[in-house]
A = this chain, B = another copy of it.
């Protein structure tokens, strides 16, 4: 009772399961050795550099990160003056987070640092593979970003577009 579609999905899942530790290890290791940030706070920066402004809940939702953890990671980023809290005048419970100018600069430098090792490997690819890799990461990112926002948490439902 397995049709082509199901098989395809299985392969996608398998690819993602295989892919994950590859990214995980190469990224998180250099995050720790080369920055004073946790991996978690770097992911928050990544989200903020795409979405500009996010509330605490939205961050937790988009990264499937428990709320208390978001608080802790954002605290660290604030201590580094990389993000700032913006209080929402319409709903004073909501804490919006935005990167500071310093944060944006730092993030560029950090990405450079963190990815140094990966960069050296990618640089060795020929033009065609490089293009293919670029296109493919873009597709995977866009599609997963679209479907993976966690809707299982009821508190996340409202953030779905």
Contacts and interface: CB of A to CB of B under 8 A. Distances in A.
Interface of A: 5, 8-27, 29, 42-43, 46-47, 50, 63-65, 111, 114-115, 117-119, 121-125, 127, 129-141, 143-145, 147-148, 150, 152
B144 A63 contact: no
Contacts of A20: 20, 23-24, 27, 43
Contacts of A138: 11, 15
A33 B153 CA distance: 15
Contacts of A150: 25-26
Copy count, this protein chain: 2
B143 A140 contact: no
A137 B23 contact: no
A131 B20 CA distance: 20
B132 A143 contact: yes
Given A25-B63, A25-B64, A148-B26, A133 B141 contact: no
B13 A118 contact: yes
A44 to B, nearest CB: 9
15 contacts: A5-B127, A11-B138, A12-B122, A12-B137, A13-B118, A16-B27, A16-B137, A17-B46, A18-B145, A21-B43, A25-B64, A121-B148, A132-B143, A136-B136, A136-B139
